[in-house]
Amino acid sequence: MTVPVQSLLFADPREAADLAAFLGRLLHYDRAAAVRLQAGGGDALAVFGRPPSFEVLAIRAARLAGPATLDVTVSAGELLETLDPDGAGGALPAPVTGPPWTGVLPPRGPWHEETGLPRPDALRTALDLAVAEFRTRDEALPDDRRTRAERDRIGREIWSRQVGGTGLPLRAVHAAQSLGFLRPAPDFPVSLLSAGGAAGWLRLRTPFGSIALRRDPVGGLGGPGGLTLSVGRG
């Protein structure tokens, strides 16, 4: 029998350790971060977060010790504090009123694989070049233009560039690397999925988590918006 849970018990200590690392990275970008936790009756727990610097949804999946039903938004910091150091699990913090994005998660499916995504080593090279370009252009700014608005403009121009012809913005790849989803390893599998057509979602999937973001109605890409709740996995 599957019953609602008040605490988390993981299938393996590594699951708790990976979740703790993910929460720590989210808190690096937002000390007040919230996460939405969903389990739909099986042993898969989906953890959704939104690092504000990247304007994407980050999804980390963990295996629980048994089936559970769960749908709650909690403080990422409080959840991290409750995780047992030995990896057994942790108590669920009190629910919080989530920010708007917590009510707009990617669909369960169907997801379709897209072609044209470069290999992981090429993605990391593109990130390195983008970071170097930003630094070069930032250093070249005259003093009277060295403002937050100008630097943000440069950043938006660089990180909104598409990866190949996929439609995926480079900021999604940057988010994947910054959150520990894109790792330097041989034959590291990375795929690009889509759902919902031209006004739907794109999802960059790796073995350690996914980055999802919503296409806008005219075929561009924006932050999360406008879909119903569902459980997603990394």
User: What HEC string does 5-38 produce?
Assistant: CCEEEECCHHHHHHHHHHHHHHHHHCCCCEEEEE
Q: What is the pTM of this model?
A: 0.86
The answer to whether residue 228 scores a pLDDT higher than 50 is no
Last residue of a domain, one of 38, 69, 100: 100
Q: What is the pLDDT of residue 169?
A: 95
Residue 226, classed as helix, strand or coil, is: coil
Structure tokens at 3: 């019953």
The answer to whether residue 233 scores a pLDDT higher than 70 is no
Classify the C-alpha dihedral 41-5-70-45 as positive or negative: negative
Vertex 172, ends 169 and 173: CA angle to 5°?
100
Q: What is the CATH number of the domain that holds 95?
A: 3.10.150
Percent share of the chain, pLDDT over 90 = 72
Residue, of 9 and 4, whose pLDDT is higher: 9
**Range of the structural domain that residue 81 is part of:** 7-100
- Runs of H (alpha helix) within the chain: 13-29, 76-82, 120-139, 148-159, 170-178
Counts of helices then strands in the chain (DSSP H, E): 5, 11
The answer to whether residue 39 scores a pLDDT higher than 50 is yes
Specify whether 34 is located in the same domain as 95.
yes
User: Does 107 map to a domain?
Assistant: no
The answer to whether residue 234 scores a pLDDT higher than 60 is no
Last residue of a domain, one of 100, 120, 148: 100
Specify whether 63 is located in the same domain as 151.
no
The answer to whether residue 119 scores a pLDDT higher than 50 is yes
Specify whether 84 is located in the same domain as 124.
no
**Residue 72: enclosing H or E segment and its boundaries?**
strand 69-75
Specify whether 58 is located in the same domain as 144.
no
Structure tokens at 227: 């879909």
| Residue 147 one-letter amino acid | T
Last residue of a domain, one of 75, 100, 125: 100
Kindly calculate the radius of gyration of the chain based on its CA atoms and give it in whole angstroms.
18
Specify whether 123 is located in the same domain as 215.
yes
What does the pLDDT look like over 166-223, one tens digit per residue? 999 999 999 999 999 998 876 789 999 999 877 799 999 999 999 999 876 443 445 4
* Counted domains in the chain: 2
d(CA 219, CA 53): 22
Specify whether 145 is located in the same domain as 198.
yes
User: Does 137 map to a domain?
Assistant: yes
Q: CA distances (Å), 44 to each of 10, 70, 103, 227, in order?
A: 10, 10, 20, 21
